[in-house]
Structures are given as structure tokens and as C-alpha cells.
Amino acid sequence: MHRRSFVREGSFLEDNQNRLLASLTAADWALLKHSLREVPLIQGEMLKEAGGPVDAVYFPLSGMVSLIVEMPEDRSIEVGTIGSEGAVGLAAGLGSRISSVGALVQVSGTSLCIPVSRFRTAAGQSQHIRDLIIRYVELQMGQIQRTAACNALHDVGPRLARWILQTNDKIGRLPASSIQIEVRLRFSIVRP
């Protein structure tokens, strides 16, 4: 796996492509920087299984990850998305050990990754990191609630339009390879 140092003299916070990491103070960045490594996000890869252990926190720099809930009869539905504005597994910094949803790479890209034990240690040393985790988890819960409401109230057309806008906001483009996968996952459409 390709490793690259992200230790930069004073420029990281301005240049970082992940907005959560960019919001860190220099002291908080110092707690994390030596434990982060760059990893590829490959479309179709499961970063976390629902009900499985959380072993790492991913901070996407590019690409997009879908939060997936498995339903009976081998069906699944997307309940949220994470791009360069957020992180996958962030709640583990407060002690969460089991993933409540699956995390599926929807659009290939790259991510910074940190082992959960090192992230918990950093969160234990920084009130700012703990506050950031809480605010992000609250934001993510709001996104999941809005997605549930949208799925219940709207037909496929408006739901797809919302997903296209959300995806464009997160990655700046809508990759054609994702459309069929997304329509199936997000809207629970089963092929005959």
C-alpha cells in the first residue's frame, strides 16, 4: 500500500482536501498526523460491515462512501453518503466499537486512514476533537433522518434528483458508473 507523509510546514490546514481534518487546530493535527496513511478507495469495496467491528477511521480526500442498511431478502438501501466533508467510523473516537451500518465505496478516490485505537487516544487528549466528533455525528444523523423522510414521501424521480445534487456537492461530478448501482441501492429497486 502506498504511504505518504502528510506532515507539511504550516500549509496542511489550508491545503487539506478533507474538511474535517482541515478544521483541526495545529495541536490536534499534531496528535493525528503521524498515524494517518493514504489508502485507495475502490468502488464496490466494503470499508465496514454492519454489525462488524470498527477498526479504522477513514477521512476521504476524494470519492464517496455510501452508508448502507441491509434489509431482509438480500436487499440494501443507502441511508447516507460521506465525501471529503466527513469521515467513516468517526464515532469510534468516543468509544463506539460496532458499526451500525455498512460503508460501501460508491465512487473511487483516496482517503486518509487511521487505526481506531490511535484515533481514540487522540480524541481522549483533545476536547476539540471530541466536540468535532459529536457535531459531525449529529449532522450525519440529521442527514439520515432527512433521507428516510425523502424515501417515504417522494417517488423515485425526486429522490434520484436529490442524490444527484448531493453527489455533485460531495465530489464535484456525477460518475456514470455509479448511476446504476446507486439507483438500485438508494431506491431499493430490484431487477426482475
Give the per-residue pLDDT at 175.
59
Give the per-residue pLDDT at 158.
74
Tens of pLDDT along the chain (192 residues)? 333 434 334 434 445 689 999 999 999 999 999 999 999 999 999 999 988 999 999 999 999 999 998 888 878 888 889 999 999 999 999 888 888 899 999 889 999 999 999 999 999 999 999 999 999 999 888 887 887 787 777 777 777 777 767 776 777 666 555 555 555 555 555 554
SS3 string of 86-116?
A: CCECHHHHHCCCECCCEEEEEECEEEEEEEH
The residue extents of the domains of the chain are 12-184
User: What is the rounded CA–CA span in Å between residue 28 and residue 32?
Assistant: 7
Question: Which residue type, as a one-letter code, is found at position 15?
Answer: D
For domain 12-184, give the fold. Jelly Rolls (2.60.120)
- Under 8 Å between Cβ of 151 and 34: no
- Under 8 Å between Cβ of 65 and 81: yes
User: What is the rounded CA–CA span in Å between residue 83 and residue 12?
Assistant: 19
Q: Provide the terminal-to-terminal Cα distance of the chain, rounded to the nearest Å.
A: 40
